[in-house]
DNA sequence: ATCGTTGTTTGATCCAGCGCAAAGAAACCG
DNA sequence: CGGTTTCTTTGCGCTGGATCAAACAACGAT
């Protein structure tokens, strides 16, 4: 089974084609905290994650950091500014030890004109990403922090939840600070919220480690089933 | 000069090609307040604006509205869920009397495989849109209301500013409510902010009408040149 | 073990901006 | 023109969360 099987960007290609595609790629491995690309770099390459977790973060001139998304195996990242012909406005940083393949813009052009399905896939992936961020934009604009944190956690469970006894564990390190940067709040507020959930038995969290004990209760906070406040 | 000349999606096609492209399209005209498509509709068509302004809005289950973007002549809209194969998560509503061409998903597929440059353009446009909304996401997460309103206004000036004596006029109706829905705040707060700017001689606004008298002062609020507060 | 570093918790204070309310002001309509 | 509707303005009180501050806990390195 070829390493590119199961990647979103190359879905629809057969094995010989995947081999040709992979031949053009460069393989990169990064340890936690290291960068695949940095904010401000001229965008030259597009990445597809093979292993591990990568977070895409943006830093404001004032130094605030925002986590845009987490990328897992099979997903594409670093692509946006490449297509738009710009510099990276965000950085791609390994969260766990991670591995990815990367292609240059020119290589992607060749591949896409040879197999148009790749272009089709790219359009679809970007569209999905747009839908996702619009939803989060709307949440940020209209919902309070607790709900946003609940939503963010639910999303993490979906993307990276591993069932263990006692609940579902987010299977890579996530700090309070990270959750704050995902939801647009401070680590302090996140900490308070998690503490209150801990007391209610909904989660059980430690140092950069979050275990969700009652996923459906989390969802009911995220979606506000029955009641309004508290 | 063909009507499709100058549209972003079909850049790079020559006149005979544009004629063929247009032959597949349906022409639609809408009066202010009318919808090109509604939230929840199955996404069937992609639009390219020819005339007027269209706003793309999203409504939350709780009834909050968010303005995602304004679309002007030559720009594509309604495309995202089409590519992602979903229903519209936002609505496209005419702000002024507006005109657009639209294509079905099947037609776009045909056109794209015949002239791959269209797919290429689509990728680029979606990428641009992603960069834009990420920037705004970051602003919403980290900046206060006055700055966000200043940014939003600056953007409107860039997209739809018309020079008149005494300043630059946003050349379509924008209410306080609209500005609130763009920046994620309430019409009250927007009104207060505009009043204070009015006193400082920066803008001069009326009923759904905004004239920017000192664009560079607006920008200095948006970008926070020299000082921090007020 | 011990120290230094990095992440977490919790308290106390403060304020930007929301929600509510009510009164103008401009446009629209018959 | 008078009545209605749609926008805008402004005041007031309240509060969600930011900010500031300090102690605490877990981990890594030596």
DSSP letters along B104-138, please? EHHHHHHHHHH-HHHHHHHHHHHHHHHHHHHHHHH
Q: What is the mean pLDDT of residues A20-49?
A: 97
| Mean pLDDT on B76-83 | 94
Give pLDDT, residue A226. 52
Residue A208 dihedral angles phi and psi, to the nearest 5°: 50, 40
Contact A121, A50 (CB under 8 A): no
For position A219, what pLDDT does the model report?
96
Asked if residue B117 has pLDDT above 50, the reply is yes
pLDDT at res. B230: 32
Contact (Cβ atoms closer than 8 angstroms) between residue B215 and residue B157: yes
Which 207-226 positions of A have CB less than 7 A from strand C? 207-208
At A37, the pLDDT band (50, 70, 90 cuts) reads very high
8 Å CB contact of B116 and A113? yes
Query: How far is residue B118 from each of residues A123, B10, B12, B17, B110, measured CA to CA in Å?
Result: 11, 6, 8, 11, 11
Is residue B106 over pLDDT 80?
Answer: yes
* pLDDT at residue A224 is higher than 90: no
Query: Which SS3 state, helix, strand or coil, does residue A142 take?
Result: helix
Query: With contact defined as beta carbons under 8 Å apart, do A95 and A102 qualify?
Result: no
Question: pLDDT tens-digit profile of A210-222?
Answer: 999 999 999 999 9
- Are the Cβ atoms of A127 and B126 closer than 8 angstroms? yes
pTM (predicted TM-score): 0.95
pLDDT at A21 over 70: yes
| Arithmetic mean of pLDDT over chain A | 95
| Closest-approach residue (CA) in chain A for B181 | A141
Cβ atoms of residues A54 and A95 within 8 Å? yes
Q: What are B187-193's contacts with CB under 8 Å, separation 24+?
A: B189/B145, B190/B149, B193/B145, B193/B146, B193/B149
DSSP string of B188-230, one letter each residue? HHHHHHHHHHHHTTSEEEETTEEEES-HHHHHHHHHT-S-S--
Mean pLDDT within A92-114: 96
The β-bridge partners of A100 are A28, A49
- Which residues have a Cβ under 8 Å from the Cβ of B173 and sit 6 or more positions away? B32, B95, B96, B208, B209
DSSP class of residue B33 equals: T
- Within 8 A by CB and 6+ apart from B90, the residues are A134, B39, B56, B57, B58, B68
In sequence order, which residues have a C-beta less than 8 Å from that of residue B204 and are 6 or more positions away? Answer: B166, B167, B198, B211, B213
| pLDDT for position B76 | 98
Closest CA to B64 of B207, B184, B156, B153: B184
| pLDDT the model gives residue B12 | 97
Rounded Cα distance between A193 and A149, Å, is 8
Using CA of residue A211, residue A216, residue A219, residue A225, what is the dihedral sign? Answer: negative
Write out residues whose CB is closer than 7 A to strand D: A 144-146, 184-186, 188-189, 206-207; B 175-177, 187-188, 191-192, 194-195, 198, 205-208
**Are B56 and B68 contacting, i.e. CB atoms less than 8 angstroms apart?**
yes
For B160-172, the pLDDT digits (tens) are 999 999 999 999 9
Q: What is the mean pLDDT of the segment spanning B64-89?
A: 95
Q: Note the pLDDT of residue B224.
A: 77
Q: What is the DSSP string of B169-196?
A: EESS---HHHHHHHHTS-HHHHHHHHHH
Say yes or no to pLDDT of B207 above 50.
yes
Least confident of A185-194, B111-120, B213-222: B111-120
B25 CA from D1 C1′ (Å): 48
SS3 B98: strand
Contacts of B122 in chain A (CB under 8 A): 123
Specify the pLDDT at position B225.
64
pLDDT tens figures, A138-172: 999 999 999 999 999 999 999 999 999 999 999 99
Distance CA B16, CA B175 (A): 42
Question: Are B152 and B185 a contacting pair, CB within 8 Å?
Answer: no
**Do residues A147 and B104 make contact, with C-beta atoms less than 8 angstroms apart?**
no
Percent of chain A with pLDDT strictly greater than 90: 93
Could you tell me if A76 and B127 are in contact, meaning their C-beta atoms sit under 8 angstroms apart? no
Give me the pLDDT at residue A230, please: 31
Closest alpha carbon within chain A to B83: A124
Query: What percent of chain A stands above pLDDT 70?
Result: 97
Q: Angle between the B116-142 and B145-160 helix axes, to the nearest 10 degrees? A: 150
Q: In the structure, what pLDDT confidence band is assigned to residue A94 with cuts at 50, 70 and 90?
A: very high
What is the C-alpha separation between B148 and B224, in angstroms, rounded? 11
A-chain CB neighbours of B138 within 8 Å are: 58, 60, 64, 66
Contacting residues for A146 by C-beta, under 8 A, at least 6 apart: A193, A221
Q: Given CB atoms, is A134 within the 8 Å cutoff of chain B?
A: yes
Helix (H) / strand (E) element for A177: namely helix A176-183
Helix (H) or strand (E) holding A121: helix A116-142
Interchain pair B184, A142: CB under 8 A: yes
* DSSP H/E element including A137: helix A116-142
Mean pLDDT of B86-103: 97
Q: How confident is the model over A122-139, as a mean pLDDT?
A: 96
């Amino acid at each position: 089974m070829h390493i590119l099987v199961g990647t979103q960007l190359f879905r629809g290609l057969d094995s010989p084609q995947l081999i040709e595609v992979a031949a053009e790629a460069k393989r990169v491995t990064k340890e936690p905290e290291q960068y695949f690309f940095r904010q401000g770099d001229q965008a030259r390459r597009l990445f597809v994650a093979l292993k591990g977790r990568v977070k895409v973060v943006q830093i404001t001139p004032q130094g605030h950091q925002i986590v845009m998304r987490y990328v897992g195996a099979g997903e594409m990242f670093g692509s946006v500014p490449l297509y738009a012909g710009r510099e990276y406005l965000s950085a791609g940083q390994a969260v766990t030890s991670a591995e990815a393949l990367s292609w240059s813009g020119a290589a992607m052009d060749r591949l896409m004109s040879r197999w148009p399905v790749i272009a089709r896939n790219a359009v679809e992936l970007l569209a999905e990403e747009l839908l996702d961020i619009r939803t989060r934009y709307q949440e940020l604009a209209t919902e309070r922090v607790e709900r946003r944190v609940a939503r963010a956690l639910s999303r993490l469970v979906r993307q990276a939840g591993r069932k263990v006894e006692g609940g579902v564990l987010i299977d890579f390190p996530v700090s309070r600070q990270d959750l704050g940067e995902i939801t647009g709040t401070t680590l302090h507020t996140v900490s308070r919220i998690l503490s209150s959930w801990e007391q209610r038995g909904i989660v059980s969290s430690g140092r950069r480690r979050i275990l969700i004990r009652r996923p459906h209760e989390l969802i009911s906070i995220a979606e506000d089933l029955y009641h309004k406040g508290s």
